[in-house]
Chains A and B, each alone.
Chain A
Amino acid sequence: MGTVIEYLHKAFDIVDGEPKFVLEDVNLKVQDGEFICILGKSGCGKSTLLNLLAGYLKPDKGRIVLNGEEIDGPSADRGVVFQQHALFPWYTVRENIEFGLRLQKRQDTKEMATKLIEMIGLQDYEHAYPVELSGGMAQRVGIARALAPDPAVLLMDEPLGALDALTREAMRQELIRIWQLSGKTIFFITHSVPEAVYLADRVVILKEGRVEADVAIDLPRPRNMRDKAFQDYVDSFARMIAETETEERAVCAE
């Protein structure tokens, strides 16, 4: 069934009597199981789009339909991973992952959580509290927690933004593995062009609240960032996002 975004408008403020649209006329059709990267520079409305998908914000005009049902508020069928891990600090790793399962009163809560903990490789830390984890570990717990209630869609707002380059690289590979295992639709927000090209089936470029481009990435996985074809994608996206040449070079280098 997939996700359909139709004629989506969102404004926060009114300027000179006119609403100042952060998102304007956004249209998007996403198949089940697709990995979508939403790319754009800071302030272009990426987070706003994700918050609308999550249901934290309501559209001013237009609508988002997920599997035939219009989105109206947050629910367990859309898991969210934030840039700051947003784990419950008073729960251990295991309790955090079990949170959504317990709410569903599932019989197999324990086994499911064990599986997820094994998937993210934190068996030794299952009784640790979030304050005791490194950034990368906490983010993995965040992903496992979002996956636990088996959502149809996973929404991720720059989840790797706060990590160092090496951890980020490892997490990208892991994310692809998790995605291939779970077959979920993923909306992944990033401002890093190479990251988007590395991860996505399709890259949606947002610019000043509008969809600037919607490009399928036709590269086999696993992808190599040094391939010529990979670089071509990066260059063409950088050109679309950047306004000056210096900006363009900066965007490519990231």
Chain B
Amino acid sequence: MCRMKDMSYVDELYIAPCVQGDLLEEEEIVPRKYEEARRAKVDKFYKALALFYFFCIWEFISYLNVRGGWFNPVFLPSPVTVVETAYEYLLNGTLVLHIGMSFYRMILGFLLGVAGALVVGIMIAMSRTWDNLLSPIINMVGPIPVFAFLPMFLIWFGIGEASKIALIAYATFVPMLIYIIGGIRETDPLLIRSAKSLGATSFQIFTKVILNSAMPKIFEGMKMSLALTFSALVVAEMMGASSGLGYIIVNAKNWFKMADMFLAATLIGLEYTLFYAFLTLVERRLFRWKMAGSSNAVEK
């Protein structure tokens, strides 16, 4: 038994230099992990390039359309026209107002929704009584499309900002709640036992173990809910607003200003992407403990 082990060891040593001769050459060794980080940077560049190509192709098609006269160019304004429109808005000073108003509504609604979901989610996940009292209601009301509530919100909260922000907050609240409750409930019971045996009180277990453990899932929820936050933002601004990116779209529709619609849509996409990227950045900072050891399933 022992001898066999020895032999195979010798074999390996003997064969290795023969078969893989270049292993013996002097060569700078870069661990795969670093190579992977470099590759991730290159990926980012390609992703930016893809966006650039998208606009190029769009521009090219609208150019061909103008030359070829396939359909009325008003239907498909070129990116340059859209940028010109943006410049017009900028000159008359309303661009910043519209973007600012949309951002203000979005961020306020989003934060209120997340905060509300945190309060209710913690109540439901930590207390049986609240779970029994609230969960059936939420399970019934939650799946109703948020936009079905818009007219009611308008009547309850009036035509001003309150109804819009309430709708956005509610649209964020529903999906967030599921992630928060899930995150809390998924806490590894072994970690709770550990903490108890190290002398933690129930409150300390909540703040030091359960919250930490649920945080990644809560962040995942924020990123997922963001899409609904933005839908609610646009819908809210399309009904009874006089500013904001959603307002530009309905207003442009009335005057058949396609370029304005494209501009607003692009800006909504941009705002979403930027905020999403911001959340991802915060996530990376906060959850280094999760990323630290991780790498590809299989190194390439």
Contact = CB atoms under 8 A, between A and B. Distances in A.
B21 to A, nearest CB: 32
Contacts of B242: none
A88 B293 contact: no
B283 to A, nearest CB: 13
A184 to B, nearest CB: 14
15 contacts: A54-B193, A55-B197, A56-B196, A73-B196, A74-B197, A75-B197, A87-B194, A88-B191, A88-B212, A89-B289, A92-B289, A100-B198, A100-B199, A103-B200, A148-B198
B198 A145 contact: yes
B101 interface: no
Contact residues of B: prevailing secondary structure: helix
B204 interface: yes
A225 interface: no
Nearest to B212: A90
Interface string A172-216: 000000000000000000000000000000000000000000000
B292 to A, nearest CB: 5
A104 B199 contact: yes
A254 to B, nearest CB: 16
A169 interface: no
A243 B104 CA distance: 74
B289 A90 contact: yes
A131 B199 contact: no
Contact residues of A: prevailing secondary structure: loop
Given A88-B191, A90-B212, A54 B197 contact: yes
A229 interface: no
Interface string B257-300: 00000000000000000000000000000011110111000000
Q: Which 10 A-B pairs have the closest CB atoms?
A: A131-B293, A76-B199, A100-B198, A74-B196, A129-B289, A80-B197, A86-B190, A129-B292, A90-B212, A90-B289
A113 interface: no
B224 interface: no
A132 interface: yes
A149 B212 CA distance: 22
Contacts of B194: 80, 82, 86-88, 145
A129 to B, nearest CB: 4
Interface in B123-164: none
A84 interface: yes
Contact of B190 (A82, A100, A130): A82
B62 to A, nearest CB: 50
A74 B193 contact: yes
B198 A91 contact: no
Interface of B: 188, 190-191, 193-200, 204, 208-209, 212-213, 215, 287-290, 292-294
A63 interface: no
Given A89-B289, A131-B290, A80 B195 contact: no
Contacts of A73: 196
A146 B195 CA distance: 10
Interface of A: 54-56, 73-76, 78-80, 82, 84, 86-92, 99-100, 103-104, 128-132, 145-146, 148-149
A88 B213 CA distance: 9
B292 A132 contact: yes
Contacts of B197: 54-55, 74-76, 78-80, 146
A100 to B, nearest CB: 4
A135 to B, nearest CB: 13
B191 A86 contact: yes
Nearest to B201: A103
B193 to A, nearest CB: 6
B292 A131 contact: yes
A178 to B, nearest CB: 17
A73 B196 CA distance: 9
Contacts of A88: 191, 194-195, 208-209, 212
Nearest to A54: B197
Contact of A75 (B188, B190, B199, B209): B199
A129 B293 contact: yes
Contacts of B294: 131
A88 B191 CA distance: 7
A99 to B, nearest CB: 6
A73 B202 CA distance: 12
Contacts of B195: 88, 99
A27 B287 CA distance: 47
Nearest to B211: A90
A103 B199 contact: yes
Contacts of A80: 193-194, 197
